[in-house]
Amino acid sequence: MFTGIVEEVGTVRSVQKLGSGWAQIEVDAKIVLEGSKVGDSIAIDGVCQTIKRLTSHSFIVDTLAESLKKTTLGHLRSGSRVNLERALRLDGRLDGHFVQGHVSGVAQIRTIHREKDNVYITVSLPPSLLSTCVAEGSIALDGISLTIASIQGNSITVNLIPVTLERTTWKYKQEGDLVNVETDIIGRYVAKFLGLEKDRGLENQHSLNAVGLKWESFRGWKGFHSSSTLEE
């Protein structure tokens, strides 16, 4: 679990394609190395990875074929800059929002518009991701916790403040670039509950009509110890 508050921008040292479509990625870093150990989770551009090996100046991860195909990690090359964040500590402050590091999809930057110290980024999203977005809601783009300023058609717009531009890879982004998208986990659960999000190949199954749903509907359900729990 992460927060979407990027700790530093790292630089990809090498990408070695290995085996059946997986790769070993080495990233030069400094801040995220502090206190990290083999087996720890780390977010690279919002994608949760596991540290395989550490050096004095870098960390190495094994990125599987699915991550290479479904995220922008498959486009990384030596010299690529990436946003980095260590996993959330329960004894720390929670900024941003809960980010799993499980990328929902990849989207393209449509426009980048500057107004004095504000930068507005418009990103086109597929319908499957757009359905779980709400204005003023949270979204993670390349691992950065952002607030959706507005939704127009099939696109969302976010507003980046100067500190976000300075401390993340967004200062290098251009129109047409691809970004990893993770929509808010709460929105995804709500959409699933209401039947707005369909499972692949199961469009007509497991849907739930929540209109007029009452607690009485759950009486006797084994998920609760007793129906009296709902009355307390």
Q: What digits encode the pLDDT tens for the residues 119-156?
A: 999 999 988 888 888 888 889 999 999 999 999 999 99
For residue 90, what pLDDT band results from cuts at 50, 70 and 90?
Answer: low
* pTM for the model: 0.78
Fold adopted by 105-187: Elongation Factor Tu (Ef-tu); domain 3 (2.40.30)
Q: Domain segments of the chain: what residues?
A: 8-86, 105-187
Q: Which residues is 182 bridged to in the sheet?
A: 140
In the chain, the percentage of residues whose pLDDT exceeds 90 is 54
Q: Is pLDDT at 161 greater than 90 in this prediction? A: no
What pLDDT score was predicted for residue 220?
Answer: 52
Using the predicted structure, report yes or no on whether residue 229 has a pLDDT greater than 60: no
- Summarize pLDDT for 12-59 with one digit per residue, the tens: 999 998 877 899 999 999 999 999 999 999 999 999 999 999 999 999
Pick from 2, 44, 40: which is nearest to 168 by CA? 44
Dump pLDDT digits (tens) for 172-202.
999 999 999 998 777 676 777 777 655 433 3
Q: Which residues of 29-46 are buried (b: 16+ CB within 10 A; e: fewer)?
A: beebbeebeeeebbbbbb
**Looking at domain 8-86, which CATH architecture does it have?**
Beta Barrel (2.40)
